[in-house]
Amino acid sequence: MNWPDIPFNAWRETCGALHLYSQVVGKYRLARTPWINHSWHATFYVNARGLTTSLVPDAAGIEITFDLLSHAVIGETADGRTARIPLGPMSVADFCARFRELVVQLGGTPEFDDHPNEIRDPIPFRDDRQERPYDAKAVTRFFHALVAITRVFSRFRTGFIGKVSPIHLFWGSFDLAVTRFSGRPAPLHPGGIPNLPDEVTREAYSDEVSSAGFWPGGGGTDFPAFYSYAYPTPKGFGEAQVTPEGAYFDQKLGEFLLRYDVVRKSAEPEATLMSFLESTYRAAADCGAWNRDALECSVGQPRRSRSLKRTAA
């Protein structure tokens, strides 16, 4: 697998632009798609070209893809229409206007909220006229990192038979994530995430979770990093011993972190990342008294079904 070097400061401005462009497209999907638990209806997924909305229930059915290899936003419909926007230097206002035109070309409804989420001091998309750079090579390296990470996240996901999320990218915080659930309700979340309605946050955290993910940088760090947290945070979680060497608990964020470069530079990147995912999950489950025997299973293998442990009554 290709684990490219993706130093955040080298493409910080491009990353910020891509984040905001993803919010524009995400707001369109959000406006047209019926609500699914924990806001899973609004997320993006990694595919062979970049990031996709999957099929949005608008007009004949519209799918939007950020093609991070040919550097375009591509819209396709179930009745055969296509349209595209080249990705390059531009402002958020320009991108938003071009995207609305793309939706019209596809027969869709270009009406959606105009304000960024989870960003401090947000500027409405239509008013954000600052010219933004676009480093195409850095964007492609980021995409290749997402592909490598998704493979490991997907394998980790198979070791759990309780409720577990898809592998998806949240455009609000611009992180790729996978979440496991204990099966028990959680206390009411206090909310307070910048420019995100508390009712959305509280529905997202309605149940106990152990969540892991990846930031390219900017999510409380100036470097690309993997994270893992629990909600609610159980007693002793931050003091738990986790692996690999280099993983640590960030008191300010309330999460375990592992620099992407620790994984990238290791002799076995996939095994190194898996050890972080597994050990931080175990810390959350053990400190939170999850029923691990009922929730866990062996990691999935191709063409091998799992045998059920249940016995006849």
**Residue 47 Rama label (left phi>0; alpha psi -120 to 50; beta):** beta
pLDDT of 246: 97
pLDDT of 66: 98
Helix boundaries (H) for 37-168: 92-105, 136-157
Burial per residue of 215-226, b for 16 or more beta-carbon CB atoms within 10 angstroms, e otherwise: bbbbbebebbbb
Is the separation of the CB atoms in 102 and 83 below 8 Å?
Answer: yes
Is the separation of the CB atoms in 93 and 126 below 8 Å?
Answer: yes
pLDDT of 313: 46
Beta bridge partner(s), residue 169: 44, 176
Sorted by sequence, the CB contacts under 8 Å of residue 201 that are 6+ apart come out as 189, 191, 192, 193
Beta bridge partner(s), residue 229: 211
pLDDT of 310: 53
Identify the residue whose tokens are 């990031």: 51
Is the separation of the CB atoms in 279 and 245 below 8 Å?
Answer: no
Identify the residue whose tokens are 């979440």: 179
Is the separation of the CB atoms in 192 and 198 below 8 Å?
Answer: yes
Which structure tokens are listed for 271? 């095994």
Is the separation of the CB atoms in 17 and 178 below 8 Å?
Answer: no
pLDDT tens track, the chain, 313 positions:
789 999 999 999 999 999 999 999 999 999 999 999 999 999 999 999 999 999 999 999 999 999 999 999 999 999 999 999 999 999 999 999 999 999 999 999 999 999 999 998 899 999 999 999 999 999 999 999 999 999 999 999 999 999 999 999 999 999 999 999 999 999 999 999 989 999 999 999 999 999 999 999 987 899 999 999 999 999 999 999 999 999 999 999 999 999 999 999 999 999 999 999 999 999 999 999 999 999 999 999 999 887 665 544 4
